[in-house]
Chain A
Amino acid sequence: EAGVTQFPSHSVIEKGQTVTLRCDPISGHDNLYWYRRVMGKEIKFLLHFVKESKQDESGMPNNRFLAERTGGTYSTLKVQPAELEDSGVYFCASSSIGGANEAFFGQGTRLTVV
């Protein structure tokens, strides 16, 4: 069974540019989450999809971040325009429906804004 897959693994962009990160969850997982770790900080929750619906987006830092999950399959996280403080590692995770089911994480996308 394929795990959670994220693209790209690394991205270096200039301040003001746009970047789109993609996450393919484990097949059949309705829950999809985005997290990120910025330099020197703890891993922080960004948002949670159930199928195509945003269930909780309380961790999104500002309106420069837009997450979508059209059709309830893969998800994209767009940063527009990117700022220096957006640099970090963005993780995607997925889990099946059910209260205690564990979340499986992808390898992350390392974003560097210069």
Chain B
Amino acid sequence: DAKTTQPPSMDCAEGRAANLPCNHSTISGNEYVYWYRQIHSQGPQYIIHGLKNNETNEMASLIITEDRKSSTLILPHATLRDTAVYYCIVRAWGSGGSNYKLTFGKGTLLTVNP
């Protein structure tokens, strides 16, 4: 799986948009970009994933650059409960055992301030 690079920490004011960047310059054509987060002492929580088109769901939006070498997770109106470590992970799509595992890095600690 391609390696990702994320800033170690970010701050955001409550109610503002949080934009979390991720670089994945060695991503392959069959690799998706996934975002998970881990709120303190809980299990990782799936947020969103995408291949090359921008994606939006009830939690967030994912913007992937045209060359797919980087992406941005957007939380449109951050709340205090969004304080967590956010992980950007690239994972190959398709059948085969090793394609399913997620490789977690250090992630970005997002702190939402009142």
Contacts and interface: CB of A to CB of B under 8 A. Distances in A.
Contacts of A102: 34, 46, 49
A45 B101 contact: yes
Contacts, number: 58
Contacts of B106: 42
B103 interface: yes
Interface in B30-78: 32, 34, 38, 42-46, 49, 51
A105 B99 CA distance: 17
B42 A33 contact: no
Interface string B101-114: 11111100000000
Interface residues of A, number: 26
Interface of B: 32, 34, 38, 42-46, 49, 51, 93-95, 97-106
5 contacts: A42-B105, A99-B95, A105-B43, A105-B45, A108-B43
Given A102-B49, A106-B43, 18 more contacts: A4-B43, A33-B100, A33-B102, A35-B102, A42-B106, A43-B44, A44-B104, A48-B101, A55-B97, A56-B97, A56-B101, A91-B44, A95-B100, A99-B94, A99-B95, A99-B99, A103-B102, A104-B46
